[in-house]
A and B are shown apart, each in its own frame.
Chain A
Amino acid sequence: MSSAPVAGQLGPVMPAIDRRRARRKAVWRRRGLVLLFMSPWLVGFSVFFGYPLVMSIYLSFTHYDLLSSPRWIGLANYRYLFGTDQQIWPAVRNTLWMIVVAVPLQVLFAFGIGLMVSRARRGVGFFRTVFYLPALAPPVAATLGFVYILNPATGPVNVLLGHLGIQGPLWFQSPGWAKPSLVLLAIWGIGNTMIIFLAAILDVPTHLHESAEIDGAGPLQRLRYVTLPSISPVILFAVVLGVIQGLQYFTQAYVAANIASGQASQAADITNTLGYPEGSTLFYPILLYQNGFRYFSMGYAAAMAIVLLVVSLAVTLVIILNSRRWVHYTGSVR
């Protein structure tokens, strides 16, 4: 037959091309399959994170009041934010105060309570539940409760202090005490962090404590040289999370200012409730909300949000880079 020699000549070439084509097809099929399985996350990420982020960046360069289309104004929002806005720096100061005071106290209390619960011989389940319970309270209800508890005239705390012959402070009604009152509220809600610390403390290998004890280390030395280094990744986690939450501190301060000023209604005069009393609870996210949803300066609010995002990223990066000196990861080479 005449075709036999042709087939014989092309024989070694054709299967090689076919094989290559089939392999490429298989690779694309695999990529398609991976994309198909990833698509729920990809769609969710693009719709709920990517698009809003890109739109926020775009809107931050525009004047947008929700009623008319966004109008490009370049860097004007950022210039106003850093140069003209009188309320920004008090809001930044209050936010920094909250982070510097509340975050270390929260970490300290969560660690302390976690340590005590880990050493309890009886009633561990009861104590664990009691300390975790406040974390389940809705933030608005908890804030409302604290405003009533710390009511200067009728609140149980001041009534109790009065019985002891101490005149209680004005708490949420006083510019000097409003933020410490919010710190008390924040410490009350440390349940989540406490549970994480408790798990980390219980996870510290017993043989490390035993060998330190044999070497003559006392309880404080064991805490300093065994427990703390072992749970340092959890401390880092708590600090990073606390700082990010501090930068986004909104609900409690907003509700407390509204209730303490006696104007719970949405129709309340915003000039009186903003950061009540005397701007002491005016935090950056509250100012952002006021600009966006009360004054309808969406472009300016978007610029504030972008600055907040950049600051959050920078602060987190600094903490993580700095953590290399004091965080120890068991069994890993860093």
Chain B
Amino acid sequence: MSTAAVRAESEPTVRKKPPPAIRRRRFLIAVANHSLLIAAAIAFLLPFLFISLTPLMSDNQALSAKLWPHPFV
């Protein structure tokens, strides 16, 4: 076995760090992805919140523009 081959086997694999431009791009993509996810999550949660709050309102409150039940019924 040659010396080079032995050295290659003994050295641990080191993952090469991607260049800064690629890292920046990946970071921006991750930020955009999370922003979209947060916006979509809010859009999905709000109706659920409204549905959960409506049973705590009186009929008049449910048909008013107020979102928070006052008083709780």
Known: A116-B37, A117-B37, A134-B44. A154 touches B51 (CB 8 A): no
**Size of B's binding interface in residues, CB under 8 A:** 20
Q: Render B45-67 as a binary contact track against A, CB cut-off 8 A, 1 for contact.
A: 11110110010000000111101
Q: Tell me whether A120 and B44 are in contact in the complex, defined as CB-CB below 8 angstroms, given that A145-B54, A156-B50 are known contacts.
A: no
Chain B interface main SS type: helix
Stretch from A125-133, A245-253, A265-273, A305-313 that touches the partner: A125-133
Q: Which residues from 83 to 122 on chain A have a C-beta closer than 8 Å to any C-beta of chain B?
A: 113, 116-117, 119-122
Q: How far is the CB of B66 from chain A (nearest CB, A)?
A: 9
Q: B13 on the interface (CB 8 Å rule)?
A: no
Per-position binary interface string of chain A over residues 147-161, scored 1 when its CB falls under 8 Å from any chain B CB and 0 otherwise: 011010010100100
Contact flag A134-B34 (CB < 8 Å), given A148-B62, A154-B65: no
A131 touches B51 (CB 8 A): no
Selected from A116, A123, A131, A148, the residue in CB contact (under 8 A) with B50 is A148
A141 and B51 contact, Cβ closer than 8 Å, known pairs A130-B44, A134-B44, A159-B65: yes
B40 in the interface (beta carbon within 8 A):
yes
Q: Shortest Cβ distance from B16 into chain A, in angstroms?
A: 14
CB distance from B31 to the nearest CB of A (A): 10
Nearest to A185 among chain B residues (CB) is B47
A146 to B35, CA, bound (A): 25
> Given the known A-B contacts A133-B48, A137-B51, are A127 and B36 also in contact in the complex, defined by CB atoms under 8 Å?
no
Q: How far is the CB of B12 from chain A (nearest CB, A)?
A: 21
On whether the beta carbons of A142 and B63 are closer than 8 Å, the reply is: no
A145 and B37 contacting across the interface, CB-CB below 8 Å: no
Known pairs A122-B34, A130-B41, A131-B41; A137 contacts B48 (CB<8 A):
yes
Identify which of residues 27-45 in chain B touch chain A, using a CB-to-CB cut-off of 8 Å.
Answer: 30, 33-34, 36-37, 40-41, 44-45
Chain B CB within 8 A of A188 CB: yes
A82 to B50 CA separation, bound complex (whole angstroms): 44
Determine the chain A residues whose CB is within 8 A of the CB of B44 once the complex forms: 130-131, 133-134, 188
B40 touches A134 (CB 8 A): no
Task: Indicate if the CB atoms of A120 and B33 lie closer than 8 Å.
Answer: yes
Distance, CA A113 to CA B41, complexed state (A): 10
Task: Verify A149–B47 contact, CB threshold 8 A.
Answer: yes
**CB atoms of B40 and A145 under 8 A apart:** no
* Minimum distance in angstroms from A209 CB to a CB of chain B: 14
Residues of B within 8 A of A (CB): 30, 33-34, 36-37, 40-41, 44-48, 50-51, 54, 62-65, 67
24 examples of A-B residue contacts, CB within 8 angstroms? A116-B33, A116-B37, A116-B40, A117-B37, A120-B34, A120-B37, A123-B37, A126-B41, A133-B44, A133-B48, A134-B48, A137-B48, A137-B51, A141-B51, A142-B47, A142-B51, A145-B51, A146-B47, A149-B50, A151-B63, A156-B50, A156-B65, A159-B65, A188-B44
Known: A137-B48, A156-B67. 13 other contacts (CB 8 A): A121-B30, A123-B37, A126-B41, A127-B41, A130-B41, A133-B44, A133-B48, A137-B51, A142-B47, A156-B46, A156-B50, A156-B65, A188-B47
